[in-house]
Amino acid sequence: MSTTIPQARPAAPPRQPLARRTTPGRWFSDLGWRHLVGVLAVVYAGFPLVYVVSASLADGGTLTGSNDLFASVSGANYVALGGTKFWTWMANTLVVAVATGVGTVLMGAAAAYAFSRFRFSGRRVGLTALLVIQMFPQMLAFVAIFLLLISLGNVVPVLGLDSKLSLICVYLGGALGVNTFLMYGFFNTVPREIDEAAKIDGASHAQIYWTIVLRLTAPILAVVGLLSFISTFGEFIIARVLLQSEENWTLAVGLYGWVSSLQDANWGLFTAGAVVSAVPVLALFLFLQKYIVGGLTAGSVKG
């Protein structure tokens, strides 16, 4: 006697949800206001830049003629830079900024590696001390720095006042602190098993540091170097106090000299120099852009 197995009824296809009709009001409340805020932010941030470029292309040396954007376009201000010490100041600034950036990366990486990989007495106190000291800006000590370099210049003239080397040393004196904390958090994300495997293969601490750890932490090294370069490139107060001869001035000090006198202020040269001086920073930022997000966020995964 044959039994008939009932056939399973096919499942009904899922009902597609009805598409919700998007009205202009609903679109603006969900998404449109974000575009509006973005456009306003771009205009707010971009207008000063456009105004500076317009002033640099104006014929006169004042800002009053630049109220009408690009009313006159001329490259006279950029040509006039060649008759000044602008390019000397640019070279001085690049030397100081590059040396400070490289020194900051080397010092910060060495300190962060020690705090991350070794356990020693005073480790936690040292980290806390770096954070507390960094709360006070370096410019607060410019009087003490000035007096110190006067005395030091009597013994070692190259480290006295009006020396780019002494300015670099002063900048490197404040290189630790926040930079060390950024690197310390990133170094903690590198597994210790890599170090242990390298030690089994006979690698020393120096070999592990230079050939393995620094390569794995390249994003944070690039970020710290970029931040140090930018902050040094535009620093004014300490450079103005220490550098006294015009041949040793940096860009910030030199450009300020063009507009420091209300009677003889040449805003055309100032704005042209400001536009040209922004090129190295912009080029370095674009070159290191791929490291910035990873370098600033990866260190927060494991502290």
d(CA 107, CA 98): 14
Is the CB of residue 93 less than 8 Å from the CB of residue 233?
yes
What pLDDT does 300 receive?
A: 46
Q: What is the pLDDT of residue 4?
A: 56
Q: What is the fold, at CATH topology level, of the domain defined by 82-300?
A: MetI-like fold (1.10.3720)
Please state the domain extents for the chain.
Answer: 30-74, 82-300
pLDDT given for residue 168 in this prediction? 93
Say what the pLDDT of residue 301 is. Answer: 46
pLDDT for the residue 19: 53
Q: Which of 243, 275, 249 is nearest to 77 (CA)?
A: 275
Which residues, 6 or more positions from 224, have their beta carbon under 8 angstroms from its beta carbon? 104, 105, 108, 179, 182, 183, 295
Quick one: DSSP state of residue 109? H
pLDDT value, residue 11:
60
- Which pLDDT does position 302 carry in this prediction? 45
3-state secondary structure of 236: coil
pLDDT of residue 286: 86
Please spell the DSSP secondary structure of 161-210, one letter per residue.
SS-HHHHHHHHHHT-SSHHHHHHHHHHTTS-HHHHHHHHHTT--HHHHII
Residue 136 has a pLDDT of 78
The pLDDT score that the predictor gives to residue 177 is: 74
CA distance 130 to 184: 12
pLDDT at residue 10, as a whole number:
60
Q: pLDDT tens digits for the chain (303 residues)?
A: 455 555 556 665 666 555 556 677 777 777 778 888 889 999 998 888 888 888 888 876 666 655 677 777 888 889 889 888 999 999 999 999 999 999 999 998 998 888 888 888 888 888 888 878 777 777 788 888 889 899 988 888 888 888 999 999 999 887 777 788 888 888 888 888 888 888 888 888 888 888 888 888 888 898 899 989 998 998 999 999 999 899 999 999 999 988 887 667 788 889 899 999 999 999 988 888 777 766 555 544 444
* CA dihedral over 17, 23, 29, 33, signed as positive or negative: positive
